[in-house]
Amino acid sequence: MDGSRCAVLALHWQVNVIEPEGFFGGMLAEPVARSGVVERAARFHAAAAEAGAELVFTRFTVPAGGGELVRNTGFMRAVDDARESFRPDSPGSALIAAMADQPDLVVDNQKLSGLAGGDLADRLRARDIGTLLITGVATNLTVEQTARHATDLGFHVHVVRDCVAAADETAHEASLAALELTTAGCRTADDAVRLLAAGGGPLIR
């Protein structure tokens, strides 16, 4: 896995998702904290960057006018109803402190897939990036949606299994099991860093 042709997609590491005071804090903050995923993901991001991977963070935000948000699911309706908490400059949209200085690029959108509703996929291809390593919260929401979408777009996708988390452990494990079949396979952070450091092409099992 050549680090120069690889990007980390770090999904929804923002206050609204991770911290107790965030919009989804009541659902996600406690299981996220209990899992230790923030510390593991921050270490993985730093190691991947040292190996040459680009760090791309995505945030779910709602600009004035709504951007490309469509009220077609319960999730989207809930977020739209709380749109002021998701404005790009609101405290809830900020990246969490543990990762605030890590991104090479930050991309906002109004979709569950980090690659939907914008030109990020084209920007990655223009950088000759073909392999994506995905971290983020929640496993069964933005992580799974983005991983499947990226795979359909032709990227080699590995979800970093110990750098994702969900509100419910059963949903988390079910999502990872599905992603083993629908992507290039899930990897641990240590495995992904070892492969990045070794160089070579994308790992396909």
Global pTM?
Answer: 0.95
For every residue of the chain, DSSP letters joined together read --GGGEEEEEE--BHHHHSTTSTTHHHHHHHHHHHTHHHHHHHHHHHHHHTT-EEEEEEE---TT-TT----SHHHHHHHHTGGGGSTTSGGGSBPGGGTT--SEEEEESSSSTTSSSSHHHHHHHTT--EEEEEEE-IIIIIHHHHHHHHHTT-EEEEEEEEEE-SSHHHHHHHHHHHHHHSS--B-HHHHHHHHHH--S----
Q: How far apart are CA 4 and CA 2, in angstroms?
A: 5
**Mean pLDDT for the stretch of residues 78-107:** 98
Domain architecture of the chain: domains with CATH = 3-57+95-198 (3.40.50.850)
**Is the pLDDT at 205 greater than 60, yes or no?**
no
Is the sign of the CA dihedral 125, 163, 101, 48 positive or negative?
Answer: negative
Residues 133-187 pLDDT 10s: 999 999 999 999 999 999 999 999 999 999 999 999 999 999 999 999 999 999 9
Of 19-28, 97-106, 190-199, the least confident: 190-199
> What is the radius of gyration, based on Cα positions, of the chain?
16
Average pLDDT, the chain: 95
